[in-house]
Amino acid sequence: MIDHKEKGTEKNSESLNFIETQIEEDLRQGKNNGKVYTRFPPEPNGYLHIGHAKSICLNFGLAEKYHGKCNLRFDDTNPEKEEEEYVQSIKEDVRWLGFRWEGEPKFASDYFDRLYQWAIVIIKKGKAYVDDQPAAVIAAQRGTPTEPGIKSPYRNRAVEENLRLFEEMKAGKYKDGAKVLRAKIDMASPNMHMRDPVMYRIMHKDHHRTGNQWCIYPMYDFAHGQSDYIEGITHSICTLEFEVHRPLYEWFLDQIVEGVYRPRQIEFARLNLSYTVMSKRKLLELVEKKIVDGWDDPRMPTISGLRRRGFTPESIRNFADRIGVAKRDNVIDVSLLEHSLREDLNLRAPRVMVVLKPLKVVITNYPEGKTEDLETINNPEDETMGIRKIPFTREIFIEKNDFMEDPPKKFFRLSPGKEVRLKSAYIIRCDEVIKNSKGHITELHCTYDPESKSGSGQNRKVKGTLHWVNASSAIEVTVNLYDRLFNNPDPAGHKDKDFKEFLNPDSLSVLKGCKAEPSLAQAQPLEHFQFQRLGYFTADPDSQPGNLIFNRTVPLRDIWARAMQKTGKKN
């Protein structure tokens, strides 16, 4: 059994997580007039992944729980890496997860004018200066956490000169990197982020929304806190690495705004998953090097990849709920995500029969030309899903590996002289194995027990039950057997090895000519099924009549845990 209570999850006796506890405390104190306003603030520089899904569920979930609002805001301060394609995909993914943002999506770039004006306010207070030194020199002067940094020779420029230079930077007078605007805070601060951080840099680069209007762009740190402030965000929830940025966000706001209202930043541990890389840079590398088939490759941990793989929004939301929010970094086992998926698909996926590697069976005592329509239930978990009819004739297909000529002792599937039940049909016995000139098995000749399907015969017990597909009405489909993309629990965690060394060479096998029961001809893109005895499968978005493609979403059981048990390793 999987332990759903992850260590590090902080819940108090009323079962509130630590963020909810803080929010409720704020509400009790009457802060923000009792309003809860959150936001999900992605940078549009890649597709969203399962880690972002956690943040989405958290931010939108809190807004729902406390009858507040949640913004979708694109933190688009870096035109070098940002693209409209990412904006569109992010909107689609948030909607697909089942969340609705407040009003129109917001963009940090909407606030460029205000941020510029605020920078001028800070310069006028003598608390920002234009530095002419190159980036490398500025970086070298920052010092280390234990040694103070070196003050820039430009640090004491006069306000008037700073105003003029900043204005000229904006007007395009200087090349990229020739100057930056820096906050004048404390070069000896133990917090490196307070050592005169850069506020603005010169980038002659078109922005996906503001075009060529600007050639200076605010740093993320100079935009993020103010964007929250402008939007009236009450609880600004972010991942732990921003804890050390918090004093800087507060410093900026203290320079430029009055009043008591401030967004309250609360940090939580980002989601890490075993067997998964989650950095956008690494995911981009997999896409650019064509190691995967795009951002929505079903092996990617992106939301679009999970969708294509066959994940449901409910399974992802349940997963996010289960893992809760922690204050300390931890790694969640990917099998917990797969478990949430199985649990959901078990309830909603109709059962069907598909044979991946077909072996023909001729039932020699079944009348030629006869067809029976046998009834079978669509989902034993949900009787409202009803029954369907599956044709049965003299020739059927079973799975090649459900037959063994020389079986070991505990092989309860088909072998010469032995009986098995065909799911929702008859018991058959194998009489003869037909081989070609090379000695390969081409078909089996079996006889069936006509009394074994109804009446007292339907209770006759045999050890094995096989899935099967009727030969004459079977449709041919392609099946993509997806597996984990990495075969190491921590692919990105090896100092001397590139994460790509841990790619699982068997993460995809494509099976053509699989035989499916005829009901699957109507399968719609992204429709889920349980292929009996094989796992959950989902029709690919590119699947269409005549070229049906199914992706294996997840096997019925955790095959990785079993493989690990066999080799004696802990998963």
Q: Which residues of the chain form contacts with ligand ATP (CB under 6 A)? A: 41-43, 45, 51-52, 54-55, 238-239, 270-271, 278, 280
Amino acid at position 36, single letter:
V
Active site residue 280: yes
Find out whether 210 and 112 touch, Cβ atoms under 8 Å.
Answer: yes
Min dist. Cβ of residue 69 to ligand ATP (A): 17
Nearest-10 Cα torsion for 193, 62, 320, 224: -20
| Residue whose CB is nearest to ligand ATP in the complex, by number | 51
Q: Measured from the CB atom, is 92 or 395 closer to ligand ATP?
A: 92
Q: Which of 354, 379, 361, 374 is nearest to 425 (CA)?
A: 374
Min dist. Cβ of residue 45 to ligand ATP (A): 5
How is residue 503 annotated by DSSP? B
Min dist. Cβ of residue 126 to ligand ATP (A): 32
Give per-residue burial for 233-270: e unless 16+ CB within 10 Å, then b. Answer: bbbbbbeeebeebbebbebbbebbeeeeebbbbbbbbb
Sheet of 419-422: strand order equals 465-466, 419-422, 427-435, 441-449, 358-363, 395-399, 469-470
Q: Measured from the CB atom, is 222 or 468 closer to ligand ATP?
A: 222
Q: Measured from the CB atom, is 54 or 308 closer to ligand ATP?
A: 54
Min dist. Cβ of residue 8 to ligand ATP (A): 14
Q: Would you tell me the crossing angle of helices 220-231 and 246-256 to the nearest 10 degrees?
A: 60
Q: Which of 19, 48, 49 is nearest to 337 (CA)?
A: 49
Q: Measured from the CB atom, is 323 or 349 closer to ligand ATP?
A: 323
Min dist. Cβ of residue 473 to ligand ATP (A): 47
Q: Measured from the CB atom, is 181 or 323 closer to ligand ATP?
A: 323
Amino acid at position 317, single letter:
R
Give SS3 for 319.
Answer: helix
Min dist. Cβ of residue 49 to ligand ATP (A): 7
- Distances in Å between the alpha carbon of 100 and those of 2, 59, 66, 314? 32, 11, 15, 15
Q: Which residues are CB-contacts of 165 (< 8 A; sequence separation ≥ 6)?
A: 130, 157, 179
DSSP per residue, 379-397: -TT-GGG-EEEEEE-SEEE
Min dist. Cβ of residue 296 to ligand ATP (A): 18
Q: Give phi and psi for 220, each to the nearest 5.
A: -50, -45
Find out whether 318 and 53 touch, Cβ atoms under 8 Å.
Answer: no
Amino acid at position 275, single letter:
Y
Find out whether 354 and 477 touch, Cβ atoms under 8 Å.
Answer: yes
Q: Measured from the CB atom, is 51 or 324 closer to ligand ATP?
A: 51
Q: Which of 260, 265, 267 is nearest to 31 (CA)?
A: 260
Give SS3 for 428.
Answer: strand
- Rg of the chain on CA atoms, in Å: 31
Active site residue 114: no
Q: Measured from the CB atom, is 194 or 238 closer to ligand ATP?
A: 238
Active site residue 262: no
Of 69, 106, 280, 484, catalytic? 280
Question: How far apart are the C-alpha atoms of 459 and 456, rounded to whole Å?
Answer: 6
Q: Measured from the CB atom, is 43 or 131 closer to ligand ATP?
A: 43
Question: How far apart are the C-alpha atoms of 322 and 253, rounded to whole Å?
Answer: 36
Find out whether 18 and 10 touch, Cβ atoms under 8 Å.
Answer: yes
Read off the tokens for 50: 């399962």
Min dist. Cβ of residue 462 to ligand ATP (A): 50
Min dist. Cβ of residue 266 to ligand ATP (A): 11
CB atoms within 10 A of CB 443: 16
Q: Measured from the CB atom, is 52 or 69 closer to ligand ATP?
A: 52
Q: Measured from the CB atom, is 242 or 252 closer to ligand ATP?
A: 242
Find out whether 116 and 169 touch, Cβ atoms under 8 Å.
Answer: no
Give SS3 for 372.
Answer: strand
Min dist. Cβ of residue 216 to ligand ATP (A): 21
Of 127, 270, 282, 360, catalytic? 270
Of 20, 43, 231, 267, catalytic? 43
Sign of the torsion angle spanned by Cα atoms 142, 148, 154, 157: positive
Catalytic positions:
43, 270, 280
